[in-house]
Amino acid sequence: MKKVYADEKWCLGCGLCNVYCRTCHSETNDIVKAHNFEEPRPKSRLHVETGEKVNFALQCRHCDDPKCVTACITGAMQKDPDTGLVTNDTDRCVGCWTCVLACPFGAIVRDEDAGKVAAKCDLCVKSGEPECVKHCPNNALKFEDRE
């Protein structure tokens, strides 16, 4: 399946991926409203790791054997057998954070504002191409099938 891959050689750690991730997962789909006004405050589903020498953006790897799905106590976390996409059904999620503990990448975010549910990268299914990839100013994120 196509996944988002970070190329730390070109990542500047600017954080624009975060801005567009949050906007894409907002109700208003407007950068200013999503960041300054919208309630509950939309959450970005990726982390930008920044350091002295190395920066990279990290989001859900949509693992073949997703530990979060195994760990989920309500069956909210599911891997789509056709697309390979791992998603969380927020109606069933009870916010126990077992998935957060189980994820080896630390890629699951706790969204306490939107009713205590787990939030994670959904590869921006609603806009086609992941927004973080689309807006990276230095081509440090690639959306590719590398399997």
- Residues near another protein (CB under 8 A) are 9-10, 12-16, 18-20, 31-32, 35-36, 50, 53, 135, 137-140
Q: How far is the CB of 144 from another protein (least distance, A)?
A: 14
Residue number, 50 or 78, with CB nearest to another protein: 50
Q: Given the complex with another protein, which of 36 and 91 has the nearer CB atom?
A: 36
Q: Find the shortest distance in angstroms from Cβ 37 to another protein.
A: 10
Q: Which is nearer to another protein, 106 or 137 (CB)?
A: 137
Q: Give dist(CA 63, CA 40) in Å, integer.
A: 29
Q: How far is the CB of 42 from another protein (least distance, A)?
A: 12
What CA dihedral angle connects 94, 18, 47 and 84, to 10 degrees?
60
Q: How far is C-alpha 115 from the geometric centre of its chain's CA atoms?
A: 18
Judged by CB, which is closer to another protein: 33, or 92? 33
Would you state the structure tokens that stand for residue 37, as one six-digit string? 């006004």
* Count of C-beta atoms within a 10 Å radius of residue 106: 11
Q: Would you call the peptide bond into 130 cis, given omega within 30 degrees of 0 as the criterion?
A: no
